[in-house]
Amino acid sequence: MWIDTHVHFDAPEFDATRANDWTRARDAGVSAQIVPAVSPDNFETVRAHSVQFSNTFYALGIHPMYVMGLPKKVSIELLRSAVVRSMNDDKFIAIGEIGLDGFVSDVDWDTQVWFLREQLNIAREFDLPVLLHVRRSVDKVSKYLREFNIQKGIAHAFNGSFEQAYAYIEMGLHLGFGGTLTFERARQIRRLASELPLSSLVIETDAPDIPPTWLNAGEHNYSHHLPRIAHTLAELRGLSHEVLAQSLWQNTLNALPRLAQVLPADI
Ligand SMILES: [Zn+2]
Per-residue DSSP letters for 191-209? HHHHHS-GGGEEE---TTS
208 alpha carbon to ligand 1 midpoint, in Å?
9
131 alpha carbon to ligand 1 midpoint, in Å?
9
How far is CA 33 from each of CA 50, 79, 108, rounded to the nearest angstrom?
Answer: 9, 21, 31
Residues in the chain: 267
Contact 8, 206 (CB under 8 A): yes
Contact 158, 177 (CB under 8 A): yes
Buried b / exposed e across 120-130, counting CB within 10 Å, b at 16+?
A: bbbbbeeebbb
Residue type, 194: S
User: Residues 4-41: pLDDT tens digits?
Assistant: 999 999 999 999 999 999 999 999 999 999 999 999 99
What homologous superfamily is domain 2-260 in, according to CATH? Answer: Metal-dependent hydrolases (3.20.20.140)
Residue 104: Cβ within 10 Å count? 12
36 alpha carbon to ligand 1 midpoint, in Å?
7
217 alpha carbon to ligand 1 midpoint, in Å?
18
For 199, phi then psi, to 5°, come to -65, -10
Helices (H), 89-158: 109-126, 138-147
> Cα(82)–Cα(104) distance, rounded to whole angstroms?
28
Q: Which of 134, 141, 104, 101 is nearest to 120 (CA)?
A: 141
62 alpha carbon to ligand 1 midpoint, in Å?
11
Contact 208, 194 (CB under 8 A): no
Q: What is the pLDDT of residue 105?
A: 84
149 alpha carbon to ligand 1 midpoint, in Å?
23
231 alpha carbon to ligand 1 midpoint, in Å?
22
267 alpha carbon to ligand 1 midpoint, in Å?
25
Q: What is the pLDDT of residue 97?
A: 98
Residue type, 32: A
9 alpha carbon to ligand 1 midpoint, in Å?
10
Contact 33, 46 (CB under 8 A): no
Domain ranges for the chain: 2-260
Burial of 213 (0-12, 13-18, 19+ CB in 10 A): middle
Residue type, 67: V
Flag residues of the chain having pLDDT under 70: none
> Cα(235)–Cα(135) distance, rounded to whole angstroms?
26
pTM over 0.75: yes
> Cα(67)–Cα(116) distance, rounded to whole angstroms?
10
Contact 259, 252 (CB under 8 A): yes
Contact 205, 226 (CB under 8 A): yes
Residue type, 80: R
